[in-house]
Chain A
Amino acid sequence: MGNLFFKDENDRVDGVDKVTGKAKYFAEYQLPGLTYGVLVTSTITKGKITAIDSKAASGAPGVLGVLSHLNKPSVAGYEAEGGAKLKIFYTDQVLFNGQPIALVVADTFERATFAASLVKVTYEKGAFNTDFEKSIKDASVKKLQGAAPYVRGVENAYKTAEVQVEQTYVMPVETHNPMELHGIIADWRPNDQVTVYAKTQGVKATQNTIAGAFKIPAESVQVNSEFVGGGFGMALRTWPLEIATVMASKHLKKPVKLVITRDQMFTMVGNRPAAHQKIGLGATKDGKITGITHTAFGQSSTYENFTEGVVNMSKFMYSSENVNTNYYIVPLDMSVPIWMRGPGEATGAFALESAIDEMAHALDMDPLDFRIKNDPEKDPAQNRPFSSKYIKEAYKLGSAKIGWDKRKNKPRSIVEGSWNVGYGVSIGVFNAGRGRASVKGILKADGTLVLQSATSDIGPGTGTGMGLIASKLMNIPTDKITFELGDSSLPPAPSQGGSATLSTVGSAVNDVCVALKATIAELAANSNMDATSNFVDVLKKNNLPMIEKTIQSSQNNPDAKNYSMYSFSIHFVQVKVHQLTGVVKVSKIVSVGDSGKIVSPKTARSQMVGGAVGGIGMALTEEAILDNRYGRYVNNNFADYHVPVHADVPEVDVIFIDKPDPIVNPMGAKGMGEIAIIGFAGAVANAVFNATGKRIRSLPITPDKVLMG
Chain B
Amino acid sequence: MAEIDTNQSGDTRRDFLKKSTLITALSLTPLTVLKAADNKVDEQFAELFEKIPLNLKVNNKPFSLKVEPRVTLLDLLREQLRLTGTKKGCDHGQCGACTVHVDGVRVNSCLSLAVMNEGKSITTIEGLANGDVLHPMQAAFIKHDGFQCGYCTPGQIMSAVACIREGHANSKEEIREYMSGNICRCGAYPNIIDAIQEVKEKGAAI
Residues in chain A near residue B186, CB distance under 8 A: 179, 230, 459, 606, 610, 613
Residues in chain B near residue A652, CB distance under 8 A: 190
Determine whether the beta carbon of A459 is less than 8 Å from that of B176: no
Would you give the shortest CB distance from B147 to chain A, in whole angstroms?
Answer: 6
User: For residue B78, which residue of chain A has the nearest CB?
Assistant: A28
Residues in chain A near residue B26, CB distance under 8 A: none
Residues in chain A near residue B125, CB distance under 8 A: 19-21
Residues in chain B near residue A25, CB distance under 8 A: 84, 87, 151
User: For residue A108, which residue of chain B has the nearest CB?
Assistant: B79
Determine whether the beta carbon of A179 is less than 8 Å from that of B149: yes
Q: Is the CB of B58 closer than 8 A to any CB of chain A?
A: no
Per-residue contact bits, chain A 44-56, to B (CB 8 Å; 1 contact, 0 not): 0000000000011
What is the CA–CA distance of A647 and B8 in the complex, to the nearest angstrom? 50
Determine whether the beta carbon of B47 is less than 8 Å from that of A230: no
What is the CA–CA distance of A251 and B3 in the complex, to the nearest angstrom? 24
Determine whether the beta carbon of B47 is less than 8 Å from that of A16: no
User: For residue A262, which residue of chain B has the nearest CB?
Assistant: B90
Would you give the shortest CB distance from B136 to chain A, in whole angstroms?
Answer: 9
Determine whether the beta carbon of B87 is less than 8 Å from that of A180: yes
Would you give the shortest CB distance from A402 to chain B, in whole angstroms?
Answer: 16
Q: Which positions 8-52 of chain A face chain B at CB distance < 8 Å?
A: 8, 11-12, 14-25, 27-28, 30
Would you give the shortest CB distance from B49 to chain A, in whole angstroms?
Answer: 12
Determine whether the beta carbon of A109 is less than 8 Å from that of B75: yes
What is the CA–CA distance of A639 and B84 in the complex, to the nearest angstrom? 24
What is the CA–CA distance of A7 and B142 in the complex, to the nearest angstrom? 8
Q: Is the CB of A411 closer than 8 A to any CB of chain B?
A: no
Per-residue contact bits, chain B 166-206, to A (CB 8 Å; 1 contact, 0 not): 00000010011101111111111111110000000000000
What is the CA–CA distance of A20 and B149 in the complex, to the nearest angstrom? 14
Would you give the shortest CB distance from A655 to chain B, in whole angstroms?
Answer: 15
User: For residue A612, which residue of chain B has the nearest CB?
Assistant: B187
Q: Is the CB of B35 closer than 8 A to any CB of chain A?
A: no
Would you give the shortest CB distance from B57 to chain A, in whole angstroms?
Answer: 17
User: For residue A17, which residue of chain B has the nearest CB?
Assistant: B150
Would you give the shortest CB distance from B46 to chain A, in whole angstroms?
Answer: 8
Residues in chain A near residue B148, CB distance under 8 A: 230, 459-461, 603, 606-607, 610
| Count of chain B residues near A, Cβ 8 A | 72
What is the CA–CA distance of A677 and B52 in the complex, to the nearest angstrom? 50
Contact A180 B143, CB 8 Å, known A3-B132, A645-B180: no
Q: Which positions 136-153 of chain B face chain A at CB distance < 8 Å?
A: 138-139, 141-143, 145, 147-153
Residues in chain A near residue B129, CB distance under 8 A: 20
Contact A609 B83, CB 8 Å, known A56-B7, A109-B75: no
Determine whether the beta carbon of B133 is less than 8 Å from that of A602: no
What is the CA–CA distance of A15 and B139 in the complex, to the nearest angstrom? 9
Q: Is the CB of A261 closer than 8 A to any CB of chain B?
A: yes
Contact A179 B142, CB 8 Å, known A21-B124, A610-B187: no
- Say which residue of A27, A177, A228, A460 sits within 8 Å of B185 (CB atoms): A177
Would you give the shortest CB distance from A3 to chain B, in whole angstroms?
Answer: 5
What is the CA–CA distance of A229 and B152 in the complex, to the nearest angstrom? 8
Residues in chain A near residue B175, CB distance under 8 A: 646
- Say which residue of B79, B85, B139, B191 sits within 8 Å of A21 (CB atoms): B85
Residues in chain A near residue B89, CB distance under 8 A: 179-181, 262, 638
Residues in chain A near residue B87, CB distance under 8 A: 25, 179-180, 229
Would you give the shortest CB distance from B184 to chain A, in whole angstroms?
Answer: 7
Would you give the shortest CB distance from B3 to chain A, in whole angstroms?
Answer: 8
What is the CA–CA distance of A14 and B191 in the complex, to the nearest angstrom? 17
Q: Is the CB of B73 closer than 8 A to any CB of chain A?
A: no
Residues in chain B near residue A232, CB distance under 8 A: 185
Q: Is the CB of A110 closer than 8 A to any CB of chain B?
A: yes
Q: Is the CB of A643 closer than 8 A to any CB of chain B?
A: yes
Q: Is the CB of B71 closer than 8 A to any CB of chain A?
A: yes
Residues in chain A near residue B134, CB distance under 8 A: 3-5, 16, 19-20
What is the CA–CA distance of A18 and B188 in the complex, to the nearest angstrom? 14
Determine whether the beta carbon of B143 is less than 8 Å from that of A459: no
Residues in chain B near residue A2, CB distance under 8 A: 131-133
Q: List 22 A-B contacts (CB under 8 A).
A: A4-B133, A4-B134, A18-B147, A19-B125, A19-B157, A20-B138, A21-B125, A21-B154, A55-B6, A181-B89, A229-B150, A262-B92, A459-B150, A606-B188, A609-B191, A611-B187, A637-B92, A643-B183, A646-B175, A647-B180, A649-B189, A651-B190
Q: Which residue numbers of B lie inside 8 Å of A, CB to CB?
A: 3, 6-9, 14, 43, 46-47, 68, 70-71, 75, 78-79, 82-92, 94-95, 97, 124-126, 128-129, 131-134, 138-139, 141-143, 145, 147-154, 157, 172, 175-177, 179-193
Supplied contacts A179-B87, A179-B89, 18 more A-B pairs, CB within 8 Å = A11-B145, A15-B141, A15-B142, A19-B134, A22-B85, A179-B183, A227-B150, A229-B149, A261-B91, A606-B186, A609-B188, A610-B186, A610-B188, A611-B187, A643-B185, A645-B180, A647-B177, A647-B180
What 6 pairs between A and B have smallest CB-CB spacing?
Answer: A21-B85, A613-B187, A229-B151, A18-B150, A610-B187, A459-B148
